[in-house]
Structure 1
Amino acid sequence: MSDSIATTSRTTSRWLNDPGMRDYVSSVSLRRNDPDRNLLDELPAMVASVDAVRDRDAVDRLIQQERRTNKALDRWFDDRFISTYTLADLGRHGPGSLGRLLHDHMVALDLTLELLPQRQADPSWAPHSDLDYFTLRTGQTHDFDHLIGESGFDVIGELFPAGLRTGNMFAHVSPELAGALLTTHTFVTFPWMMRTILHYPAAWPALWDNFSHGHAVGTASACLFTVRWEDVLHLTPAEARRELGVRGFTGARDNRAASLVFGEGRLII
């Protein structure tokens, strides 16, 4: 039985056929957390495998098809707005604002603001396709999903943005495009669900609460993945939710206790 399960014969799934994806999914889904390994140590190899496996032309065709009927999305791709703010810019906003909250989080953890991480490898990099732009902008805006969800930046709090983005994408574009654009996002966070059930079941209720809360909010809300966050950095999370049409939010979560369970005593951020 085990030999048949572990077969490497070709299947109808391009993801299963790729050795890198098989190794990644099995590792991040089944392993325990290790104090000598960062939670995202496997991420660079996974992203490289996703880029190699997925059919970029097919994704671009789905985007073009959606743009023909979704005028708001069409304008967003045409604008191709890219963030250029600095850490100092964030710090100029008032206490409790999105800008200041992000500033204070980054300062507390001594984090570097990386709005164009692709240029570390290629200083001339620029988004050449709509998929490139979507990928860039998703990275630039991810922290704001945390902030409007008031879920914290610890690992269990990461499931609110995961649910939010999933629900919001399926609410505002075709299912086929949503699935294509959520591929990397899915490979990052969904395996943590299996790992939690297998090894840290005490953390499961908080994990699922965050994901399901985020999904409900994302499904009920206006399109959030196209927001120009620079226009609302001066607002508090509650003010931003009202301004942006965020609906279904039921309150902030303190996930530190569950994150300590998942981290085996370490608060993984």
Structure 2
Amino acid sequence: MNDNVPYFMRGLQEIPTESSRLVSSSKFLNHPVVREYVMQESLRRNGRDMPMTYALPRLFQALYEIRDEKRINEMLADQCKTKTELGDYFEERFISTYTREDLKAYAPDTAGGEYYHYLTANNFEIVLDPRIEMNPGWQPQTMLDYWDLRTGQTHDFDHLLGGAGFDFLGETTPLFMRIEGYFAYFDDPELAGELSTLLAIMALPTLMRTIIHYPSTWPAMSRHITNGMRVGRESDPWFLRKMEPILGMTKADARAYIGMKGVEEVDTTAASDVWSEGAQSAQLVQAEAAE
């Protein structure tokens, strides 16, 4: 043993390779898009020249490319054998079709009414799935296809009912709700991990970016993490429920109906403006101008 080697650096094994490019035992490290995303989103500042969501479509595609869809579908099918509600969920394959205009009929103090206000205040339309938008006849072919579809279709309700609001920092609560919810619900941690991979790669670099560049906003971020974890652990599997029946309910009644528990209302709008370097307030001004 070379005693001059620092203690923490001892034990390295050099592994020769004929490869002319980076190669490791991790498919995530090997993928250039995933590697670039984690590096960039961990270390960059929140510049106004780059929308917060700009890198996500390429990340989604990269992770879809490297995941083992056959294995995930097998694990989902295995869970359906012991979880009848999960089997019913995949058997029915319900797909939402409502539009922003459909939500206009709901009173302001209802889940549907509050969602409508958020959409119209920001001049957003509902995109229930990009694949359906491009091809109205598209249908999910596998259980994982359907899981991806419904995760996207119900995401805004994680914000609305999970107490997160719709500001930039508010994206954290839904991510941790889902991660903790999946690990609490599924008997197979491998499956929970597979379904949480995208969520983790979106969430965790953001936490580093917050601490190194915007430390004053960490307490606000931490509240979202804590809230999301608590809701995920304590709730029934709300992610299997339809959202249409709760549109006319108050948020409290809606949470009770879908089994969402432990929610704290977390308002981090002011902190989000600091974290986003003014993009939060600029977004609101732009929305008001569009009305």
Which bin holds the TM-score, normalised by the shorter protein? over 0.9
1:240 alignment counterpart: 254
1:18 alignment counterpart: 31
Runs (5+) with no aligned partner, structure 2: 1-8, 15-19, 284-291
2:165 alignment counterpart: 152
- Are the aligned partners of 2:127 and 2:133 in contact in 1 as well (CA < 8 Å)? no
Shift, 1:18, TM fit: 1.1
**Could you list the per-position Cα deviations for residues 18-68 of structure 1 after superposition, in whole angstroms to 9, with x for gaps in the alignment?**
111111111111111110110010011111111111111111111111111
Equivalent position amino acid for 1:198 in 2: I
- Are the aligned partners of 1:8 and 1:17 in contact in 2 as well (CA < 8 Å)? no
TM-score normalized by the length of structure 2: 0.86
Q: Of the candidates 78, 82, 88, which is equivalent to residue 65 of structure 1?
A: 78
Q: Of the candidates 127, 138, 148, which is equivalent to residue 114 of structure 1?
A: 127
- Are the aligned partners of 1:241 and 1:247 in contact in 2 as well (CA < 8 Å)? yes
2:289 alignment counterpart: none
Q: Of the candidates 163, 170, 190, which is equivalent to residue 176 of structure 1?
A: 190
CA distance in 2, matches of 1:151, 1:24: 24
Q: Of the candidates 209, 212, 221, which is equivalent to residue 195 of structure 1?
A: 209
- Are the aligned partners of 2:220 and 2:268 in contact in 1 as well (CA < 8 Å)? yes
Q: Of the candidates 59, 65, 84, which is equivalent to residue 52 of structure 1?
A: 65
Q: Does the C-alpha gap of structure 1 residues 177 and 236 become closer, same or farther in structure 2, counting only changes over 3 Å?
A: same
Greater Cα radius of gyration, structure 1 or 2: 2
Q: Does the C-alpha gap of structure 1 residues 88 and 122 become closer, same or farther in structure 2, counting only changes over 3 Å?
A: closer
Shift, 1:163, TM fit: 1.6
- Are the aligned partners of 1:21 and 1:49 in contact in 2 as well (CA < 8 Å)? yes
Q: Of the candidates 227, 231, 234, which is equivalent to residue 245 of structure 2?
A: 231
SS of the residue 1:246 aligns to: coil
- Are the aligned partners of 1:163 and 1:214 in contact in 2 as well (CA < 8 Å)? yes
Q: How many residues align?
A: 264
Runs (5+) with no aligned partner, structure 1: none
Shift, 1:91, TM fit: 1.4
Equivalent position amino acid for 2:275 in 1: F
Q: Of the candidates 155, 161, 181, which is equivalent to residue 174 of structure 2?
A: 161
Equivalent position amino acid for 2:51 in 1: N
Q: Which runs of 4+ in 1 moved over 3 A?
A: 120-124
Q: Within 5 Å, which residues of 2 pair with 1:257-268?
A: 257-267=270-280
CA distance in 2, matches of 1:164, 1:94: 27
Equivalent position amino acid for 1:202 in 2: S
Equivalent position amino acid for 2:244 in 1: E
SS of the residue 1:92 aligns to: coil
- Are the aligned partners of 2:174 and 2:228 in contact in 1 as well (CA < 8 Å)? yes
